[in-house]
Chains A and B, each alone.
Chain A
Amino acid sequence: MEINPYLFSIYGLFIVFSGLALLSFAVSNIHRVIFFFENLKLDNFRKKQKKIYLTQNIRTDVKKLFYLSDSGNGLFYLPDLIEKALMKGQENPWIIIDFLLKKNIICPDETGKFFWNDKSDCWKQIFKK
């Protein structure tokens, strides 16, 4: 059987490109996959919330929460925050609180209050975007 070198080369290069392009696509979205599976492990409260927030949503929600809780002194109670968020139509404030804690944007103190972490400027970066 004869081989057509041109067709073979085009085919071969196509396979290499499609393989690595798929890999590139998969790698670009790997954090979303991780986020999805992490949310599968959440407690019952969270399981009821069918909507899964991706990065962009969280960013928007953080902005909303920031304005909700900014009473001037920078301090707020977590239950208040959740209540306010629920009243304002936030579907899953726990995800937002989790995000804020993980990113070290808010920190708990010994009295049960949470405060914006002034030492961390990452929340400022989020609002800029």
Chain B
Amino acid sequence: MENILVSFIENTGFYYLTYKHFIMLLIAFFFLYLGIFKKYEPLLLVPISFGMVIGNIPSPASMSLGVYSEGSVLYYLYQGVSQGVYPPLIFIGIGAMADFSYILSRPILILLGAAAQAGIFITFIGAYFLGFSPSESAAIGIIGGADGPTAIFLTSKLAPELIGPIAVAAYSYMALVPVIQPPIMKLLTSKKERMIVMRSDFREISKKEKVIFPVGALVLCCLIAPGALPLLGMLFLGNILKEAEVTNRLAEAAKGPLIDIVTILLGISVGASTQADVFLTGKSVLIFVLGVISFAVATMCGILFAKLMNMFLKEKINPLIGAAGVSAVPDSARVAQLVASKENPGNYILMHAMAPNISGVIGSAIAAGVMWSLIGKF
């Protein structure tokens, strides 16, 4: 009888439960709370945090259930993350949803998307001097791009052992854009600057321009940084499916079912990869700290560059849109709008902020491509 009881307990998760699992489950519940009740990026945070619950329910080693156990269902789902398959698929959907007419009508604002990528490289230096290898430093730095798929893609290529903490950090900070960015925006801008009204007469963009853009931009960007091809290729493919207007079915599939399915698979497998024994390490904590620094520095660089541009531009731009250069689309643009409308309720800068926001996606993909091609050699 006693043996049966012991055997029963040994076959339950309780027997293997440690304080680390407990901590991870609490973190997962907290993220679930943020996603469901606070509505912080629920489409990402809910599958990720639920995946964290799945990944942190302990089981006997012989059962081969987790993402790291070869042969398990989660293991196969996780291959999409570890081999960098999901991010380009998500980029097709993003491309099909993206409207590039904002950057076509205000091309100068594209530069803000480049400036915000400085956070990636500054954090790279910091991580390198904290003892991370060049590959790990690059993977940590890319968190500042605030682009989850790009962060996962680069990490899968350079430091696959860090995918769990980096993916969770990247997506968490994307979800926390409304919390992280406003204080930095207010710190670096005066009330007068936040009240700058930008002209609202956007140039009408012809269909030809919209069709030529994805092709031209792909060729141009990928000749400069060939490493960005898997991401930008898919991004611009998705966009041309939409703009061509003869492939509406494909565009609808890309921005609907495809991106939804891949987001679920990505979220659940990234979440499940945060198993306590792998995730709860000093390195992970450091990655989270460096990640938020990277994100903050990227925001700062975008704003400061907008202020720099204002020194040369006749028609001033609201420096808040510089913060949208981090590529959390469309959240950082929305936050810029919120902060601006708090100072002047009639000031609409959302459309202007979308330009650096979308160019930030392109910029972070180029940055990832550069890092992959250069660091991969070391």
Tell me if A20 and B366 are in contact (CB < 8 A).
yes
Instruction: Give residues 28-45 of A contacting B (CB, 8 Å).
Output: 28, 30-31, 33-34
Tell me if B107 and A13 are in contact (CB < 8 A).
no
B217 partner residues in chain A, CB cutoff 8 A: 23, 26-27
Tell me if B224 and A9 are in contact (CB < 8 A).
no
Instruction: Determine whether A54 belongs to the interface, using a CB cutoff of 8 Å to chain B.
Output: no
Q: Which of A3, A12, A16, A28 has the most CB of B within 10 A?
A: A16
B3 partner residues in chain A, CB cutoff 8 A: none
Q: A40 to B221, alpha carbons, bound, how many Å? A: 27
Tell me if A24 and B209 are in contact (CB < 8 A).
no
Q: A9 to B120, alpha carbons, bound, how many Å? A: 9
- Shortest distance from the beta carbon of B275 to any chain A beta carbon, whole Å: 31
B209 partner residues in chain A, CB cutoff 8 A: 30-31, 34
- Shortest distance from the beta carbon of B129 to any chain A beta carbon, whole Å: 7
B362 partner residues in chain A, CB cutoff 8 A: 19-20, 23
A27 partner residues in chain B, CB cutoff 8 A: 103-104, 107, 110, 213, 217
B285 partner residues in chain A, CB cutoff 8 A: none
Instruction: Determine whether B121 belongs to the interface, using a CB cutoff of 8 Å to chain A.
Output: yes
Which residue of A6, A11, A19 contacts B221 across the interface (Cβ within 8 Å)?
A: A19
Tell me if A5 and B128 are in contact (CB < 8 A).
yes
- Shortest distance from the beta carbon of A57 to any chain B beta carbon, whole Å: 19
Q: A1 to B137, alpha carbons, bound, how many Å? A: 16
A12 partner residues in chain B, CB cutoff 8 A: 120-121, 124, 367, 370-371, 374
Q: A57 to B113, alpha carbons, bound, how many Å? A: 33
B134 partner residues in chain A, CB cutoff 8 A: 3, 5, 8
Q: A30 to B205, alpha carbons, bound, how many Å? A: 10
Q: A123 to B59, alpha carbons, bound, how many Å? A: 76
B: interface residue count bin: 35 or more
Q: A3 to B134, alpha carbons, bound, how many Å? A: 8
Q: A6 to B216, alpha carbons, bound, how many Å? A: 32
A: interface residue count bin: 20 to 34
Q: A23 to B367, alpha carbons, bound, how many Å? A: 15
Residue of B nearest to A21 (CB): B111
Q: A33 to B177, alpha carbons, bound, how many Å? A: 38
B213 partner residues in chain A, CB cutoff 8 A: 27, 30
Which residue of A5, A11, A23 contacts B125 across the interface (Cβ within 8 Å)?
A: A5
Q: A11 to B208, alpha carbons, bound, how many Å? A: 34
Instruction: Determine whether B108 belongs to the interface, using a CB cutoff of 8 Å to chain A.
Output: yes
Which residue of A8, A16, A22 contacts B374 across the interface (Cβ within 8 Å)?
A: A8
B371 partner residues in chain A, CB cutoff 8 A: 12
Which residue of A20, A26, A33 contacts B114 across the interface (Cβ within 8 Å)?
A: A20
A33 partner residues in chain B, CB cutoff 8 A: 212
Residue of A nearest to B108 (CB): A24
Tell me if B366 and A34 are in contact (CB < 8 A).
no
Instruction: Give residues 342-378 of B contacting A (CB, 8 Å).
Output: 359, 362-363, 366-367, 370-371, 374-375, 377-378
Residue of B nearest to A10 (CB): B121
B366 partner residues in chain A, CB cutoff 8 A: 15-16, 19-20
Residue of B nearest to A1 (CB): B378
A10 partner residues in chain B, CB cutoff 8 A: 121
Tell me if B225 and A19 are in contact (CB < 8 A).
yes
- Shortest distance from the beta carbon of B229 to any chain A beta carbon, whole Å: 13
Instruction: Give residues 197-253 of B contacting A (CB, 8 Å).
Output: 206, 208-209, 212-213, 216-217, 220-221, 224-225
Instruction: Determine whether B117 belongs to the interface, using a CB cutoff of 8 Å to chain A.
Output: yes
Q: A12 to B145, alpha carbons, bound, how many Å? A: 13
**Given the known A-B contacts A9-B125, A15-B366, A18-B224, are A23 and B117 also in contact in the complex, defined by CB atoms under 8 Å?**
no
Residue of A nearest to B221 (CB): A19
**Given the known A-B contacts A3-B378, A20-B359, are A30 and B216 also in contact in the complex, defined by CB atoms under 8 Å?**
yes
Residue of A nearest to B203 (CB): A31
Tell me if A22 and B220 are in contact (CB < 8 A).
yes
Q: A6 to B134, alpha carbons, bound, how many Å? A: 12
| Contacts A/B (CB < 8 Å), 15 sampled | A3-B134, A5-B125, A5-B128, A9-B125, A13-B114, A13-B121, A16-B363, A16-B366, A17-B111, A22-B220, A26-B216, A27-B103, A28-B107, A33-B212, A34-B209
* Interface residues in chain B, defined as those with a beta carbon under 8 Å from any beta carbon in chain A: 103-104, 107-108, 110-111, 113-115, 117-118, 120-122, 124-125, 128-129, 134, 137, 206, 208-209, 212-213, 216-217, 220-221, 224-225, 359, 362-363, 366-367, 370-371, 374-375, 377-378
